[in-house]
Amino acid sequence: MKKVQDTQPVRPLSLRIRDARSEICASITQSAQKHNISYSILELIICDVLHQVQDGTKAEVEQAQLTYNQQVAELQKIQNKEE
């Protein structure tokens, strides 16, 4: 059995999201300043990145659904064998 002192608290998702958002915004601002990019060009770049993220999200959700469906099917097989 683990001692309480040996465990690490789980950082809440809301705090991780907040930190990631801050880092992403700082990175975008720093890059725009470094390359002297106007806001109109920056907007186009961010839109392109958003599309890439949306594609990744779609694939991630599809994979999660597939994995979930497989787990449910396996559970149903086990339950049917027990009956």
> Packing angle between helix 39-82 and helix 13-34, nearest 10 degrees?
150
SS3 8: coil
What does the alpha-carbon distance between residue 83 and residue 63 come to, in Å, rounded to a whole number? 31
Does residue 16 surpass a pLDDT of 90?
A: yes
Instruction: Quick: pLDDT tens for 29-59.
Output: 999 999 999 999 999 999 999 999 999 999 9
- Region 2-6: mean pLDDT is 65
Does residue 1 surpass a pLDDT of 90?
A: no
What does the alpha-carbon distance between residue 53 and residue 67 come to, in Å, rounded to a whole number? 21
**pTM score of the predicted model:** 0.66
Domain assignments of the chain as residue spans, ordered by start: 12-82
pLDDT band at 8 (very low <50, low <70, confident <90, very high): confident
pLDDT band at 69 (very low <50, low <70, confident <90, very high): very high
Which residue do the tokens 């999660």 mark? 64
Amino acid, single-letter form, for residue 76: Q
